[in-house]
Structure 1
Amino acid sequence: MSDARPTAAPHAQRNAQAPALPACPVCGAASAPFVTLGGRAYFRCPTCAARFLDPAHHPAPADERAHYLHHENDVHDPRYRRFLSKLADPLLARLAPGARGLDYGCGPGPALAAMLREAGHAVALYDPAFAPDPAPLATSYDFVTCTEVAEHFHRPADEFARLRALVRPGGWLAVMTCFQTDDARFADWHYRKDPTHVVFYREETFRHLARAWGWSCAVPVKDVVLMQRPGGAP
């Protein structure tokens, strides 16, 4: 009697291979493993340089909203206003008088909108949790701001497509998010430890997006990017 054992069929061996890695949610390119921390896998994009959490570990919307309510975003807090001025000051320097804008992801305390209104600009508000009226998304603007929001995007490619469509020719998309710069410090990085932060951008990520869109891109200070849509009045 033979001792031979049946070998696995070729198709069975292929089925046993590791599952495919998720595509980059920012640019759609193939991703690579990055690091696993506390049972949560993170991936990196060799194309746009973003890092992102395995979508299987994204927080539920109710949990996100509960976490946001712990943020202290007081419109009258001078420290918070100084923080927001990192974006507000270089944006204001580029805006024509009386521009119309949208604060996308304004949160429960729209301090940035208040600062821009004080400078003479009209600012509409939208936030899926705290200002969910979709009416402001039906028009276009001279500028759209997105401060401390992009790191929460579960589908950033879709969100950026929406933001692009909201900006008029010649207008500005202003984004502020803490740039990821040091892989060796990622595990202990405070930004990574926020349970609602699921995607992490580098300066190169936004420069890649701007090139893909045909927009200009300026980084006036770390963590702030101003992208301008071509066109508009000469």
Structure 2
Amino acid sequence: MSLNCPLCQSTQVVDFEQDKRRRYFRCQPCSLVFADPDCQLPPEDEKAVYDQHENNVEDERYRAFLDRLATPLMQKLGEGVFQGLDFGCGPGPALAAMLTEAGYNMTVYDPYFAPDATALEKTYDFVTCTEAIEHFYMPHKEWRLLLSLVKPGGWMAFMTKLVIDADAFKSWHYKNDPTHVSFFSRETFSYLADRDGLDVDFVGNDVILLRKRNE
């Protein structure tokens, strides 16, 4: 079976794991683990899963969850008036609301729930992407897009569960969501940072901040 990595496009792809739902592969150069492309859901089924998400900005527990990204990002940004984009905001853009409350000028984009493509025609001081990058079928395209949306010196902030190793992956609940298809690790983000001239900071177990170096 010949596959290209959906992130770095390498052909150096090996079997990683198989469960009763799907087969998974790992790219040797960038360490991305990805689900068999033949198991991808059609758009209507994928959206049906997303429609079940309850991302309520009034939910204090959900706010605390998102604050694990918001607080370190705001510390990196420092004081000032900043323009931000919440990419993949979902049906309830709670993070964008929280950052707006904190004084940032926020724009949202989501291919299903906020599909106004004009949001992708300008650049931002920072882009957030919480619990979304694992849904990317073609992460090489989305990654390039996200890079293009960030100004030099700006920040990309991700929240996603990270692959640890093959043993942990076997019993990992995160892979059981059929809309989760691309699984990143510290090694993957470090590879991308080295390749694309980014400074990377891992915050806790699932928050990754990357700064685009000044040109």
Instruction: Classify the TM-score, shorter chain.
Output: over 0.9
Q: Deviations over 1:50-104 (max 9, x none)?
A: 1100111111111111001111211110000111111101000011421000000
Overall identity of the aligned pairs, in %: 48
Per-residue deviation at 1:40? 2.1
Give the gaps of 5 or more residues in structure 2: none
The DSSP-based 3-state class of the residue aligned with 2:66 is helix
The DSSP-based 3-state class of the residue aligned with 1:94 is helix
Matched, 1:76 2:70: no
Partner of 1:89: 71
Matched, 1:216 2:199: yes
The alignment's TM-score, normalised by the length of structure 2, stands at 0.96
CA distance in 1, matches of 2:92, 2:165: 31
CA distance in 1, matches of 2:58, 2:165: 33
Q: Deviations over 1:134-174 (max 9, x none)?
A: 01100000000000000000000100000000000110011
The structure that has the greater radius of gyration is 1
Question: Higher mean Cα deviation, 46-55 or 163-172?
Answer: 46-55
Matched, 1:23 2:4: yes
Give the gaps of 5 or more residues in structure 1: 1-18
The DSSP-based 3-state class of the residue aligned with 1:25 is coil
Q: Deviations over 1:10-52 (max 9, x none)?
A: xxxxxxxxx32x1211122221111222262210112121110
Q: 1:42 aligns with which of 7, 12, 24?
A: 24
The DSSP-based 3-state class of the residue aligned with 2:126 is strand
Matched, 1:188 2:159: no
Partner of 2:119: 136
Q: Deviations over 1:88-131 (max 9, x none)?
A: 01000011421000000000110100111111100001000000
> Taking CA–CA contacts closer than 8 Å with sequence separation of 6 or more, which of the two structures ends up with the larger relative contact order?
2
Paired amino acid for 1:105: G
Matched, 1:199 2:191: no
CA distance in 1, matches of 2:178, 2:124: 32
Q: Is the 8 A contact 2:17 2:166 kept in 1?
A: no
Per-residue deviation at 1:180? 1.2
CA distance in 2, matches of 1:40, 1:67: 18
Partner of 1:166: 149
Count of paired positions: 213
Paired amino acid for 2:158: V
CA distance in 2, matches of 1:64, 1:97: 38
Paired amino acid for 2:24: Y
Matched, 1:55 2:37: yes
Q: Tell me how large the CA RMSD over aligned residues is.
A: 1.2
The alignment's TM-score, normalised by the length of structure 1, stands at 0.88
Partner of 1:114: 97
Per-residue deviation at 1:187? 2.9
CA distance in 2, matches of 1:39, 1:191: 13
